[in-house]
């Protein structure tokens, strides 16, 4: 179910409840079942949806609500709050400060949009007055350095990488050192993402992280990966200290559910979403406005 449809289904469920003359247990259950169905179809993890339903029922105790209470409003508010809670891990992510050098490492599977997102992130901060730089520590995929170089050149962002060196840790360390000397305040390290050899990928990621000591590790996730989101995000979190999530490809046939699962698995907030292939198709993510949009 694409994001707009999810929003549509949830608002329809709320509308149907509002149209009911009396709001009793049956009407509430029907509304919650509709919302549950919509969330599951959008690939939100089953456990999260079930917990949400239980929480809402605990908050909205129809028997205890005296006559005169606006039950509709209370139910709507509870649904809004629960959806926000699913997207808010309760701790903000590290945010870079201008003129104070920081290292941000990007991790994610191949094809998730990691390299594209590194440049978008750099470009976004460059427009805000930062001095970003890009380091290509992906020595696994042929063409990774060329791609980063091309993107960086287009955005006029300094970059570092090598066609010859095969050790990603060495390149990452050299790149970070080089840009620290050049007083860059946002040094972004792109790491390799693979489909196979997962053990090797995680070990490499851990080594790059240990060597560069990033202030923030961002996990990049393709919004279309569906129910696999939770396990994938958790696997990354177990290897490196993921502090934030960026969900890509939220344009087109994006499913929003993966984002909710990734937040739960990494206990980290979504900070941006990718909404297209171009450099500026990138939005800061705000939980409340996202949920408000979802509820229509």
- Of the two residues 24 and 286, which places its CB atom closer to ligand GDP in the complex? 286
**Among the residue ranges 16-24, 50-58, 81-89, 248-256, the one whose residues contact ligand GDP (CB under 6 A):** 248-256
Taking residues 109 to 138 in sequence order and writing x for each that binds ligand GDP by CB under 6 A, - otherwise, the string is -xxxxxxx----------------------
Candidates 274, 285, 291, 294: give the one binding ligand GDP (CB under 6 A).
274
The kind and range of the H/E element at 274 are strand 270-274
Judge whether 157 and 122 are in contact, CB under 8 Å. yes
Taking residues 37 to 66 in sequence order and writing x for each that binds ligand GDP by CB under 6 A, - otherwise, the string is ------------------------------
Give CA–CA dist 117/37, Å, rounded. Answer: 32
Judge whether 138 and 115 are in contact, CB under 8 Å. yes
Candidates 249, 266, 271, 291: give the one binding ligand GDP (CB under 6 A).
249
Q: Are strands 270-274 and 282-284 parallel, antiparallel or unpaired?
A: antiparallel
Q: How far is the CB of 142 from ligand GDP (least distance, A)?
A: 12
**Among the residue ranges 46-54, 75-83, 178-186, 247-255, the one whose residues contact ligand GDP (CB under 6 A):** 247-255
Instruction: Give the Å distances, CA to CA, from 171 to 12, 190, 290.
Output: 53, 11, 38
Q: Are strands 186-191 and 132-137 parallel, antiparallel or unpaired?
A: parallel
Q: How far is the CB of 108 from ligand GDP (least distance, A)?
A: 6
Of 31, 107, 105, 40, nearest in space to 74 by CA: 31
Question: What contacts 26, CB < 8 A, 6 or more positions away?
Answer: none
Question: What contacts 6, CB < 8 A, 6 or more positions away?
Answer: 38, 39, 41, 42, 255, 256, 257, 294
- When CB distances to ligand GDP are compared, the closest residue is 274
By CB under 6 A, residue 108 contacts ligand GDP: yes
**Among the residue ranges 8-16, 53-61, 198-206, 272-280, the one whose residues contact ligand GDP (CB under 6 A):** 272-280
Candidates 276, 283, 287, 292: give the one binding ligand GDP (CB under 6 A).
276
Q: Which residues bind ligand GDP (CB under 6 A)?
A: 108, 110-116, 193, 248-249, 251-252, 274-277
């Amino acid at each position: 179910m694409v994001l707009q449809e999810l929003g549509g289904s949830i608002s329809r469920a709320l509308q149907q409840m509002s149209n009911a003359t009396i709001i009793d247990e049956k009407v509430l259950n029907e509304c919650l079942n509709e919302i549950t169905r919509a969330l599951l179809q959008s690939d939100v993890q089953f456990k999260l949806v079930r917990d949400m339903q239980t929480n809402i029922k605990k908050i909205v105790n129809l028997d205890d609500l005296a006559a005169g209470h606006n039950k509709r409003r209370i139910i709507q508010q509870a649904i809004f709050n629960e959806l926000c809670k699913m997207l808010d891990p309760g701790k903000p992510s590290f945010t870079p400060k201008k003129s104070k050098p920081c290292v941000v490492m990007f991790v994610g599977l191949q094809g998730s949009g990691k390299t594209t997102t590194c440049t978008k992130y750099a470009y976004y901060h460059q427009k805000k007055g930062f001095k970003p730089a890009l380091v290509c520590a992906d020595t696994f995929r042929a063409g990774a350095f060329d791609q980063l170089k091309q993107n960086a050149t287009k955005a006029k962002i300094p970059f570092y990488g090598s066609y010859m060196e095969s050790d990603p840790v060495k390149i990452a360390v050299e790149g970070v050192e080089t840009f620290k000397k050049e007083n860059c305040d946002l040094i972004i390290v792109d790491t390799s993402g693979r489909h196979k050899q997962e053990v090797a990928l995680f070990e490499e990621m851990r080594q790059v992280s240990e060597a560069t000591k990033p202030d923030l590790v961002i996990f990049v996730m393709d919004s279309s990966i569906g129910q696999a989101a939770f396990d994938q995000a958790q696997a990354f979190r177990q290897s490196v200290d993921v502090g934030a999530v960026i969900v890509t490809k939220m344009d087109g046939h994006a499913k929003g559910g993966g984002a909710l699962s990734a937040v739960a698995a990494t206990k980290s907030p979504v900070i941006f979403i990718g909404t297209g292939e171009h450099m500026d198709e990138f939005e800061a993510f705000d939980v409340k406005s996202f949920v408000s949009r979802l509820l229509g």
